[in-house]
Structure 1
């Protein structure tokens, strides 16, 4: 078994990973896809992708999503024909070896609940427990939505001149370090695989949402409205605008994630045509 560690997939590697993702999603009825970009990792020089090959055939991979040294999520996917052969364990051990110098805390393993229910032996085999946090992944087709006219606000794709205002707004809303928000906003604006939308009232940024285009679906994430502006329909209006705007230029369906205990947000997305496809839980 040959395992390749890299911080960025080559075009050939990405193609192979995407083919394996499609095979596994079909076999296991998975909804969520692993991120194939390291844009949001706190250290982009750190290996983020581990690929397991046997005779030039990709049989499994591990991806790293790390907001910070103590906020590390891992995906480990193995081809159905080669499971229970130690590939996942070898990938994880290589991850531990290659990332030791970065001082990472214990990671969480992302897993869809129905897969865990069908494979309960994973808990004891990997000596992990299920956390009390989970999120629903919701999917939506490309049907357009009716959107009301509003003259008090403008929705547009962010430009570099909006960077500082976005960072300040997101830092306050997400209670996150300003420099981290500044870095994420810059990357979301400049990265070709993402689109950062903002809502402006005059020149003030009052809401934002990013669309990730790196997977097979269009993933909406980081949707937030400034605290003082909540309850005014701004989040709903922005989401409707984004859906219609993306339908005009992309033929992929949509996904969005919502925390399992956030009934208000889940109800909002259901009104916009999203349906729950799966529940993601975390093994620690």
Structure 2
């Protein structure tokens, strides 16, 4: 077994990763896909992808995602081909990735899994020493279909432009309290040129009032960082924005749509349900006890 370490995936590596994702999901009945782009990682140069090969076959993948600097939490996603489990693949991937996190100042991390996986492997937490965070999220999905453009929309969507960023930053930081203006500006500027992520803004009466990003690098189109300004919430505008994006994307590529929402956020659950999304799986974050982090 060999491990290849890269900050970004090539087109061939991304295709192999998607094949691995499909094999794992079919075997485990899981749905949560890894983020296969490095666009929004805090560091664009830190290695983010660790690929385990046996001969020319990709048998394991570990991805790292960090949206903050040293000292913040890192997300770790590990996949191993069902035919190659209990052979030390996941351990080897983690042994390669952990020093990278520590060298870049990350001393806390969480592993992403699903409730169905933990139910099927009840010994997993005891065997690994990990603990499940009580705060979970639902992944919701809408099956691949041709979605019509809403007939009567109060606003309209369009791609994010560089000229939008200044007006969008204060709205973004108000919607996401953990984002500073500098981080928000950096995030939004990165969103413009990448061909693996599309970002749309929602315009009402010639005023920007919201935005949504769509990761198109995986098996499904994944919605994230969606918000409508607080002054315009509870008017159906979030649902309208989502429906418009679904219409545009379904016309371009026949893929399913997915998104994540905290289980204790009924308002967001209502918005997505109205747009046609249904609960697909419950995502669980596994935390290392402090004593095991080093």
Q: Classify the TM-score, shorter chain.
A: over 0.9
| Partner Cα separation in structure 1 for residue 12 and residue 268 of structure 2 | 38
**Structure 1 counterpart SS, 2:108:** coil
Q: Contact between 1:47 and 1:99, CA under 8 Å: does it hold in 2?
A: no
Q: How does 1:52-71 map to 2 (within 5 A)?
A: 52-68=52-68, 69=70, 70-71=72-73
Q: How does 1:1-284 map to 2 (within 5 A)?
A: 1-68=1-68, 69=70, 70-141=72-143, 142-144=145-147, 147-150=150-153, 153-175=155-177, 176-284=179-287
123-132 or 264-273, which moves further after superposition? 264-273
**Structure 2 counterpart SS, 1:107:** strand
Q: Contact between 1:189 and 1:195, CA under 8 Å: does it hold in 2?
A: yes
**Structure 2 counterpart SS, 1:231:** coil
The two structures, once aligned, show a CA RMSD in angstroms of: 1.6
Cα distance change on mapping 1:249 and 1:143 into 2, 3 Å: closer
Offset of residue 100 of structure 1: 2.4
| Partner Cα separation in structure 1 for residue 146 and residue 276 of structure 2 | 9
Cα distance change on mapping 1:115 and 1:150 into 2, 3 Å: closer
**Structure 2 counterpart SS, 1:74:** strand
| Partner Cα separation in structure 2 for residue 264 and residue 99 of structure 1 | 35
Task: Point out where structure 2 has 5 or more consecutive residues left out of the alignment.
Answer: 288-294
9-18 or 62-71, which moves further after superposition? 9-18
Offset of residue 131 of structure 1: 0.3
Cα distance change on mapping 1:150 and 1:11 into 2, 3 Å: closer
141-150 or 45-54, which moves further after superposition? 141-150
**Structure 2 counterpart SS, 1:75:** strand
Task: Write out per-residue CA displacement over residues 11-54 of structure 1, whole angstroms, 9 at most, x where no aligned residue.
Answer: 33222222211111111112111011011110110010001122
**Structure 1 counterpart SS, 2:41:** coil
139-148 or 214-223, which moves further after superposition? 139-148
| Partner Cα separation in structure 2 for residue 144 and residue 255 of structure 1 | 14
**Structure 1 counterpart SS, 2:66:** strand
**Structure 2 counterpart SS, 1:85:** coil
- TM-score norm. by structure 1 comes to 0.94
Q: Contact between 1:145 and 1:272, CA under 8 Å: does it hold in 2?
A: no
| Partner Cα separation in structure 1 for residue 214 and residue 257 of structure 2 | 9
Offset of residue 145 of structure 1: 5.0
Offset of residue 203 of structure 1: 4.4
Task: Write out per-residue CA displacement over residues 148-167 of structure 1, whole angstroms, 9 at most, x where no aligned residue.
Answer: 5245x332111111122222
| Partner Cα separation in structure 2 for residue 127 and residue 266 of structure 1 | 32
Task: Write out per-residue CA displacement over residues 85-125 of structure 1, whole angstroms, 9 at most, x where no aligned residue.
Answer: 11111111110123322000221000011001111222122
